[in-house]
Chains A and B, each alone.
Chain A
């Protein structure tokens, strides 16, 4: 065989081998595309919320009802305040989100995330006329709704242990003078560390009771004006309220701030007489017997702070359609009725039946109807002000003499956060 023929033969053989390898490779790569697709893995939504303990147990029952109705699996992951407030925006900044649905109580935080383009618009998913107008307005940016109201809560007044009051012949006060009289009596009971428990942790329990003073020793409009930035903390009317509060701190009526759930334990162990807290007090595990838990509104109540928890969907969810279904379920009457029936939860949807409420929650709902409802001051303003407010109140509680500097610091932060400084 000549050299030319040999080369030609080799070329043909190489070509045939190449064809065979190419065909085999092609079949190997294309075959999976031609085969019927494997059954899709069932979708599992991840939900973030701040609820733990009894609140989480109740919420899981609601999620189970959703799973049974839709066949969509849902996993709830409890978050701490810091975890939600800090962790979620960090994920969003990276264009990711672990959670498909998030429940959060901070409208300012939600608006901020919406403005930055991290949230899905849900205007067409809910009927805004079915919710209190304020609850929708608070999460509306440029006419678009970014969150659905799920839970309403209120901070109606003081909680106490009924058996402790009975043992010492104490009665819930109806007037301011009766309230002062109660504080003095409580202070003189042996074993009592302070008449009023002061909650700490991140700082919101102190701001809650301070706002109760602003609303009820000042007026609900005073709180509204502060939220809108029409007045600030050095205003004479606001100062007068703070002076009254400071006077009570100086008299030793408030305890040193300590972790807020530990303070419920101490209330129950009769180290404190009363504790200002929201309606979720009824489901706190530290309350050993809910029937022994009493409640009285702020003496001479003029208004009450009410807020809520909103459902949001991150823009980065991998399951947008399923997430929308869950949002609609939670924001709808069916999901809310399940929650309301379990207690410690006030619904936001107009179609939740009144008879679904437990007596303690019904009492709070009925009380709220008698007074003016205003938004939470620090939640509504948010940002740097919220942190400063919490921190400065901690200072005021242990150093009431610092009132002037506290009010000045609050003024600076208040105006700066509202863009008026």
Chain B
């Protein structure tokens, strides 16, 4: 009888082993192999040493606040530091503002369009948005009398990374808003009404009732956002190809270039970057799961 639950788990377990655990372990194995063009043998930590010695992965010569490129690892960290808080706060604000508003479903649907748009299409749209002559960003700047600032934002090393991050915030905010909207539905109206009766202001209700009760939704939003930005690739590939001068490269892009674009392909270093990415993601996921369990 004790075996029955395991029998039910078996089909899913087999699929997981075949398509998740197996490839992950194989990638980890590959990261210790010299696989430049063809398999050349076990090399220990050589691939890891190589990727960490590359300026395209981490550029330690540049001080933290200097303009890009600072290396893919730092760029990924910047993605997390800028993208996650911005999309989380924007999603929360939009969800609260659109709560109980007539016609909010239409507004929410429009905001959510970015989320259902394929990232490749999103990337192409960003190229247009940031174009010096045809882009809406520069059109707005000119309307505001800031025409001197107009430029193709993704073409310059000092603005390419930030342009991509802000573009991705536009795409991802829809997801955050939907999760927060669902979270808001779970807050009993009685609680808010009771607070109003006690004389609480709208801000106090937001600060002391809504935000604490939205903690589970916040954990989901932050977790998903961090995972989203850690594996960001397509938007970078389509919009800037990691450039100019490596100014907008990220880990997933570097991994792709090593595995498929360089001649000969270096699957060993690509696997090392993939393993590094998995390790960071796994570490974060474990931390968040612990937080949720508490």
Which chain A residues have a beta carbon within 8 Å of chain B's beta carbons? 82, 85-86, 89-90, 93, 108-109, 112, 115-116, 193, 200, 202-203, 256-259, 271, 382-384, 386-387, 391-392, 394-395, 397-399, 402, 405-406, 409
Contacts and interface: CB of A to CB of B under 8 A. Distances in A.
Interface stretch (B96-104, B168-176, B216-224, B260-268): B260-268
Interface stretch (B86-94, B189-197, B240-248): B240-248
Contacts of B262: 383-384, 387
B interface SS class = loop
Given A193-B133, A256-B152, A395 B247 contact: yes
B243 A256 contact: no
Nearest to B247: A395
Contact of A116 (B38, B131, B152, B245): B38
B155 interface: yes
Closest 5 CB pairs of A and B: A395-B245, A394-B244, A395-B244, A86-B260, A383-B263
Interface string B218-252: 00000000000000000000000111111100000
B85 interface: no
Interface of B: 37-38, 127, 131-133, 151-152, 155-157, 241-247, 257, 260-265
Contacts of A82: 261
Contact of B244 (A108, A115, A193, A391): A391
B155 A257 contact: yes
A398 B157 contact: yes
B131 A258 contact: yes
A254 to B, nearest CB: 12
16 contacts: A85-B260, A85-B261, A89-B260, A89-B265, A90-B260, A258-B131, A271-B133, A384-B262, A387-B261, A391-B246, A394-B155, A394-B244, A397-B244, A398-B155, A398-B156, A409-B245
Given A116-B37, A256-B151, A258-B131, A395 B243 contact: yes
Contacts of A384: 262-263
**Chain A CB within 10 Å — which of B38, B241, B257, B265 has the most?**
B241
B152 A203 contact: no
Contacts of B261: 82, 85-86, 387
Nearest to A388: B246
Contacts of B151: 256
Contacts of A271: 133
Contacts of B241: 202-203, 391
Nearest to A87: B260
A398 B265 CA distance: 30
Contact of B264 (A86, A116, A391, A399): A116
A223 to B, nearest CB: 20
Contacts of A387: 257, 261-262
